[in-house]
Amino acid sequence: MTHYAMVIDLNTCVGCNACMAACAMENQTPVWKNKWRTYVPEKEIGTSEMVMRRFFPRLCNHCDNPPCLTVCPTGATYKRPDGIVMIDPDRCMGCRACAMACPYDARYEVTYDDIKTGKEFYGELQRTSPGMDKCSFCAHRLDKGMKPACVETCVGSARQFGDLDNPADPVAQMVMSGVAQPLMPHLGTRPNVYYIDDMKRKG
């Protein structure tokens, strides 16, 4: 069984935001209100000559124990057998409980106005109803044998995508070695996005 996961190396992310642009075009996100499926916050850490700039790509962590799924009252949020957490936009009533439950700030609103603006912005919009939205690991691309748009476009190869159930997969090996760690594992969400820390080397 495939179990998709992503590893993000914070040492090699240069903050070019190409992943955000690729994702926005691929998934038609409401960029006009600064809402993205993947986002790269930046922060200056340290003082004087010890200062460093950190880029921290973030997205839905496709948790194995997703709190967004358990709180969803309509069943719009569901999990595929390959581990991807999806939203059925027709079934989502937009109560925002999922966004409240998500510890990774991965979800955003799509309103009636966004649908209207989206049609003007993108020409033809795949989405027809408002509701909550988030990263789908580009499930439609995976189903065609392609990689997620953000992974494919990443210039520093900071994002790597693979199958945790395949021991030969480099992503699975990085996770198994412990070099890549999930965010906030104490919450019990069992995320499938892992990070290689930059602090030990630079901080």
Partner 1 sequence: MDTMTYTTQSLWTWWIAMYLFFGGLGAATLSISFLTDMYCRPHRKLVLWGALSGVVMLALSSAVLFGHLLHHTAVIYVLNPLVLFYQPHAWIAWGTQFILWMMVWGLLYALPYLRETPLFMRMPLVGSLLKTSLAEWLSGCCMKRRRIVGWLATINGIGITVYTGLLLQSFPAVALWHNPGVPLLFTVSAFSTAFAYLLVLLNVFILDENDQDIRHRYERFDVILIATELVILFSFFNYTLSGSESGYRSAQLLWNDFGWLIGFIGFGLIVPFFLELKGVIRGWGSRFPTVAAGLLVLMGGYMLRHYFMYAGVYAYPW
Residues that bind partner 1 (CB under 8 A): 41, 43, 45-46, 54, 56, 58, 67, 70-76, 89-97, 99-105, 109-112, 129-132, 183-184, 187-189, 199, 203
Q: Which is nearer to partner 1, 56 or 173 (by Cβ)?
A: 56
> Least distance in Å: CB of 161 to partner 1?
20
Query: What is the residue type of 44?
Result: E
Residues 6 or more apart whose Cβ sits within 8 Å of residue 97 = 71, 72, 73
Query: Shortest Cβ distance from residue 193 to partner 1 (Å)?
Result: 12
Cβ neighbours of residue 50 under 8 Å, at least 6 residues apart? none
In the complex, what is the shortest distance from the CB of residue 162 to partner 1, in angstroms, rounded to a whole number?
23
Closer residue to partner 1 in complex, CB, 170/203: 203
Q: Residue 59, SS3?
A: coil
- The span from the CA of 22 to the CA of 43, in Å, is 22
Tokens encoding 53: 């700039």
- Give the CA count within 13 Å in the CB-facing half-sphere of 22: 17
Shortest Å distance, C-beta 98 to partner 1: 10
Nearer to partner 1, 92 or 164 (CB): 92
- Which is closer to partner 1, CB of 3 or CB of 127? 127
Residue placing its CB nearer to partner 1 in the complex, 146 or 184: 184
CB of 145 to partner 1, least distance (A): 32
Tell me the three state secondary structure of residue 69.
helix
Q: Give the amino acid at 103.
A: P
Question: 197: which residues sit within 8 A by CB, 6+ positions away?
Answer: 10, 181
Instruction: Considering the complex, state which of residue 67 and residue 156 has its C-beta at the smaller distance from partner 1.
Output: 67
In whole angstroms, how close is the CB of 27 to partner 1 at the nearest point?
Answer: 18
**Which of 74, 92, 80 lies closest to 132 in space, CA to CA?**
92
